[in-house]
A and B are shown apart, each in its own frame.
Chain A
Amino acid sequence: MTVKEIIEKLDLKCLNEANLDAEVAGAYASDLLSDVMGNARSGQVWITMQTHKNVTAIASLKDIPAVIIVRDGVPDDDMLEHAKDEDICILVSKDATFQVCGRLYELLK
């Protein structure tokens, strides 16, 4: 499943269009950045409520194509800027982590 298909199926808001045709290899949900750094795999989508620039730094280092921010979180301006520079897709869901994970799990399992 591609990032674009996930946007449609989960009704996500897209704040930075990038990697729309990237194949999503799974997802990792965590708000602890070292947990993501240590355990997320490349090609996974990252679900989080963190909204600062280090999120895109980690996404870029780990080759994570898209970040889903939960509960209508608003990314910091410098995070969005950085996402544009690094080609990271930034998505926003109105739902909380549990619902986003559940729906994504159904799609990707």
Chain B
Amino acid sequence: MHYTFDIERGNFTDAGRASSSVKRTLKHLGVDPANIKRTVVALFEAEINAIAHAYGGTIDVDIDEGKIVMVVADHGPGIPNIDLAMQEGWSTASPQVREMGYGAGMGLPNIKKNTDELKIDTQVGVGTTVTMTVYFA
């Protein structure tokens, strides 16, 4: 099963749309609740990262037997230092984003904790692609 969602720059109103839809599908497929929870935490955080930092992008979700692969690809500033970005507490979020309760530097660490595989391809000034895999077995 394949799903695609668009990400619009700064559109926080839409945040969670992809994660909600994926949650409903996984529930329907009878995936166990612990794995659904891991999946939606990771996808929501990736959605928020793209909305907060990038200039737009897409989310591609593939659900196969036993696993889900989520690819969040954005056009944006890229991540100059991935090691720093992975550090809990490190954030480059704007004051407006922080006011909403984001920008605590927990997004990427939350993604790492909740996925089985995480790959980040990034190019400064071009964009970032985050590929997340969760195995249901």
Contact of A50 among B40, B100, B109, B110 (CB under 8 A): B100
Judged by a CB distance under 8 angstroms, whether B30 is at the interface is: no
Q: Which of B33, B100, B114 has the most CB of A within 10 A?
A: B100
Contact A32 to B100, CB < 8 A, known contacts A37-B44, A57-B15, A58-B16: no
Q: How far is the CB of B61 from chain A (nearest CB, A)?
A: 15
Contact of A61 among B20, B33, B100, B107 (CB under 8 A): B20
Q: Report yes or no: B100 in contact with A62, Cβ–Cβ below 8 A.
A: no
Contact of B110 among A37, A52, A57 (CB under 8 A): A37
Q: Report yes or no: B107 in contact with A34, Cβ–Cβ below 8 A.
A: yes
Contact A61 to B106, CB < 8 A, known contacts A53-B12, A54-B12, A78-B13: no
Interface of B is mostly: helix
With a cutoff of 8 Å between Cβ atoms, the chain B residues found around residue A31 in the complex are: 101
Number of A residues contacting the other chain (C-beta, 8 Å)?
19
Interface residues of B (CB under 8 A from A): 12-13, 15-16, 19-20, 23, 33, 37, 40-41, 44-45, 48, 100-102, 104, 106-107, 109-110, 113-114
Interface residues of A (CB under 8 A from B): 31-35, 37-38, 42, 48, 50, 52-54, 57-58, 60-62, 78
